[in-house]
Copies of this chain bind each other. A is one copy, B any other.
Amino acid sequence: MGEQTRYEELIRQFSAFGAVKREMGRILPGDCPSGSAAVLTLLARHGDMRMSRLAELLAVDMSVTSRHVAHVAERGWIERSPDPADKRSRILRLTPAGLTQVDELSLRTTRILAERLSDWSDDEVGQLTRLMARLRASFDDCRTASVAPGTTGNRPADLPVLEQTTRTPA
């Protein structure tokens, strides 16, 4: 029973998180919605990559990735060059203009967080970051585990090996 209640409270916070997400979205540049911002940010962090890898990092279907990528390509923020190793694939690369856009995004999001979380300690920000990373990992693990061994399921490839802190992954 206590377990049930505990999860229900967590679920309520999941639902309420949408308000935070929307608030963050409001400060984005007009022609760079959250989908585009995610593409640019991941390319800046992980470097050049193929569509399929980006879809994996975004954890969305490749059709969705394709649309986001088309949007940022139209604005000159990325280039799509053919992959010499596999002519079906395209290599995505951030352009100088794209890098500028990434800096702008970083500036805006950092600014709003610094404002909203002004009374949070460094440790608290770190705790939330770590727990949310672990939450995603917990969901990813289950997904890959149920995809059937051998299949190319989505891996939590973005996770920079964050310590599991209190517990070992069993």
Instruction: Check A97 for interface membership: any CB of B closer than 8 A.
Output: no
Shortest Cβ distance from residue A95 to the other chain B in the assembled complex, whole angstroms: 21
Quick one: copies of this chain in the complex? 2
Q: Are B19 and A136 in contact (CB under 8 A)?
A: yes
Q: Are A17 and B128 in contact (CB under 8 A)?
A: no
Instruction: Check A100 for interface membership: any CB of B closer than 8 A.
Output: no
Shortest Cβ distance from residue A5 to the other chain B in the assembled complex, whole angstroms: 9
Q: Which of B12, B113, B158 contacts A7 (CB 8 A)?
A: B113
Instruction: Check A59 for interface membership: any CB of B closer than 8 A.
Output: yes
- Complex Cα–Cα for A3 and B113 (A): 10
A16-B59, A19-B60 given. 15 additional CB < 8 A pairs? A3-B110, A6-B129, A7-B109, A7-B125, A8-B109, A10-B129, A11-B41, A12-B158, A13-B132, A119-B138, A120-B138, A120-B167, A124-B167, A128-B131, A128-B135
